[in-house]
Structure formats: C-alpha cells, structure tokens
Amino acid sequence: MKKFFTLFAMVVMFAFSSQAAYYIVGNDPFGNWDPGNGVEMTDNGNGTYSYSATINGSVWFVFASGLDSNWDVFNANYRYGPSGSDVEVGVDQWVSTPQGGDKSYKFTGTGSVYVFTFNPAILKFKIEGHQDPIIIDTYTVAGTPASVFGTEWDPSNADNDMVKLADGTFALTKYGCQLAGNELAFKVVGNRDWGNAWPNDNVVVEVEEAGLYDVTFTFNPEGNEVGYSYVKSGSFDPRTGELYVLGEANGNGWAPNVGVPMETEDENVFTATITTDGANIDEADGIGYSYFAFTSKLAENADDWSGIAAYRLGALENDYLLSEDQFGIEIGLAPFGQQNSFKIPAGTYNLEVNLEANTLVVTKDNGGVDELSNDVKKIASSVRYYNIMGQEVNEINGLTLIVTTYTDGSRSAAKVIK
C-alpha cells in the first residue's frame, strides 16, 4: 500500500511538472487580448506560477494553460476565468478561478510593481504589491447621444464634468436635451480616464416619449454608486414635415448635412426612388452593399452629427439586410433617435416610409439592377470584376461580382457564377 501511495504521489508530481507553462492573457501588459500571445508565467517550483508587472490604472485579464489564436479553441481548452460578468479583484487575497468562463478579472494598480501568482492545483490566484489609494480629482459623465453630451463617449469633455456637492457626492444636470427613443446610455469616468469607469456595464435609460428633458446624473464615490433621473421639460417633435434618405444613396456619402429629399402629400407618408452603387464589397459573400437610414432634419455642416441625433430614423438593428424576400412587405422602424442603418445590394429602389405606422416598404424599381441591361438610354463606360474576397480580377471566374459604371455616373452590380 505504501508503494501505491508513493507511486500516486510521483504521478501527481509528474503531471504538474510536465505542464509546459501557464500564461496571463489580457490587455497591456498581458499581450493586448491576443489568445495566441499571452505572457508566460515563471514556474516557482512549488506548484505555483508568477508574473510581475507594473500596473498603472485598470487592466483586464484571465489565466491560461496554453495559447491559441482561435478564441473558441482558447476558451474551450485553456482559459481560467469568471462567467456571467467581469470580477474586480484587489491585492493580498486568494481568488478562486474556474476553468472556462467568458469574462475577465479587473485589477486597478497605482503605478507599482505587482506579482500575480496562480496555483493551478487549487484553482486560485493572488495579486501582491504596493497599493496606494487612487486619488480622483474629477468625475465626468461620458455617453450617448450627442444631443445630451455634445460628444459621444468622450471622457475628456470637460463640459460633462460633475460638480461636488456638500455631502461628498457628485452631480451633473444637462438641460433641454432632445430625446426621441431609448437611446441614452452612459458611464461615470474618474480623472477623464477609461481605466476608472463605473459601472462595468453601461447604464441604459429608456425614454419612450420624444421631448425635451432635463437629465441629472449622480455619483457616490463611497461604493461607486451611479444614479440618474430625468424630467420632461418641454415638447419636442422630431417630425419636421420633411424626411431625407441619409447615407449611400444617389452618389451621396455618410454626411449629416447631405440627404436625398423624400416626397410627401400629408407629412406622414414619404416616398423616394434611390440608386445604390454597392461600393462596399462583403468578403463573406462577394456582394456589394450600400448603407442608408433616414433623418427628418439635415445638419448645418458635415461635422454636426449631434445636430441631427434626435431626428434620425433607422432600422431595428444595425446593418439590417434588405434582401429580395424583404421587398414589398412592411418593415418596422426604430423610434426617432436611433442610429441603426439598412444594408441593401446595388440597384434602384422605391422607398415608402409611413411615420404613423413607423414602417418602411422597399420595392425594386423598373430601372433597377435587373433591367439595366435592357435600358438603351444607359451607356456603359467601364466594367469591373471582383471575386468573393472583394479583390478585383480580370475576368469572370467562379462566383464573381460584375460592377458596371455608366456614362451618366450611375453604377449597377450583378452576381454571376461560371
């Protein structure tokens, strides 16, 4: 029996000693979240592994028993980390870390050298080092939309700095903000640095009724508690009696001050015919697509996205594909204030937007892609071919996208297989 236990102990020791290495994978200084390029820990010879690094600000990381550039392979076979949500950890305490998981650990350092020690036998780790208290002088609210914050997700915008109150908490009130949907999201940032931001997940505020709102943000450094409140302070109707097609239509690009005017007789149902050139070649299917949305107001200049943020009207999800099976049916639109776009192949289309029903109907125009070859009024000036990788080729070979440019500046696209 003694020999059996001795042999068992030798097998266990061999199992750990034969482990090639353990790693830390995370953002800088742990390999910039590359699962094939984490930093290797030092074998301490006692079943634990360590790595020392200077940490100034917040880092996110996990442990690993191997590396692989494929995230699926890495997560399934090598990763040690939390599940469900990120876990914030401190110094001088052993933390249990299960194998697998899809989230990470967060640690905030103060510019000192810290030692990360991992014990795979008990699945725990500890961080040791000097931990001076972090002094935060400024708290700033960063978020979206620009109609509230001026700039989106910008922690350096001093106009969004919070004011310290007599009880030690902080607050910021923004007055007369145009809101037209469940678009308001934010974090509180310390010292205008994303390394200090609360909470871990964005706060999302659902504002269903369009209007002008006074929005107040609060923060309590004791416990890092984030709060908000909002009060409707006036009427705001994003319906201006006008509607424009915003984006890649009729040769336009994405600019807030340029759009295709839509026609209307009752300021409720708007129609327009647009041509898209499909300039964005999708590497997955080799097809060219264009992107568009709507706005009831155009900005004064090409940089003024905040000026139309509350007037934008788009898809229920971003890059919503309008394919043949979507034509001729009513498609729901997101509320005003949403920035999602539609995605459509090259061609000519009739668009009908019903603001009362909040729907879009798309139909193929008779002068669309399928009919261009029979349109004697159009004269081709050039024909170019692209393979499924979006690379230009000299001739049709396999699945090929043919892009024809006409003398009037318009373009058409067709997909063929040879």
> Domains of the chain: which residue ranges?
2-129, 139-234, 244-368, 370-417
Q: What is the pLDDT of residue 132?
A: 64
What is the pTM assigned to this prediction? 0.48
Structure tokens at 371: 């009919």
Q: What is the pLDDT of residue 181?
A: 64
Element (H, E) at 389: none
CATH superfamily of 139-234: Immunoglobulins (2.60.40.10)
**Predicted confidence band of residue 57 (pLDDT cuts 50, 70, 90):** confident
Q: What is the pLDDT of residue 380?
A: 52
d(CA 111, CA 266): 63
| Under 8 Å between Cβ of 127 and 89 | yes
Q: Where are the beta strands (DSSP E) in 65-210?
A: 79-80, 87-88, 95-96, 105-119, 124-129, 139-144, 163-164, 170-179, 184-190, 197-205
The arrangement of secondary structure in 2-129, i.e. its CATH architecture, is Sandwich (2.60)
The arrangement of secondary structure in 244-368, i.e. its CATH architecture, is Sandwich (2.60)
Q: What is the pLDDT of residue 353?
A: 97
What one-letter code names the amino acid at 303? D
Element (H, E) at 388: none
Position with higher pLDDT, 389 vs 170: 170
Q: What is the pLDDT of residue 356?
A: 92
**Predicted confidence band of residue 110 (pLDDT cuts 50, 70, 90):** confident
**Does residue 368 carry a pLDDT above 80?**
no
Q: How many Cα atoms are found within 13 Å in the side-chain-facing hemisphere of 34?
A: 10
What one-letter code names the amino acid at 91? V
Segment of 63-77, 369-383, 384-398 carrying the highest mean pLDDT? 63-77
Q: What is the pLDDT of residue 175?
A: 92
d(CA 148, CA 177): 5
Structure tokens at 259: 């759009």
User: What is the rounded average pLDDT of the residues 274-300?
Assistant: 91
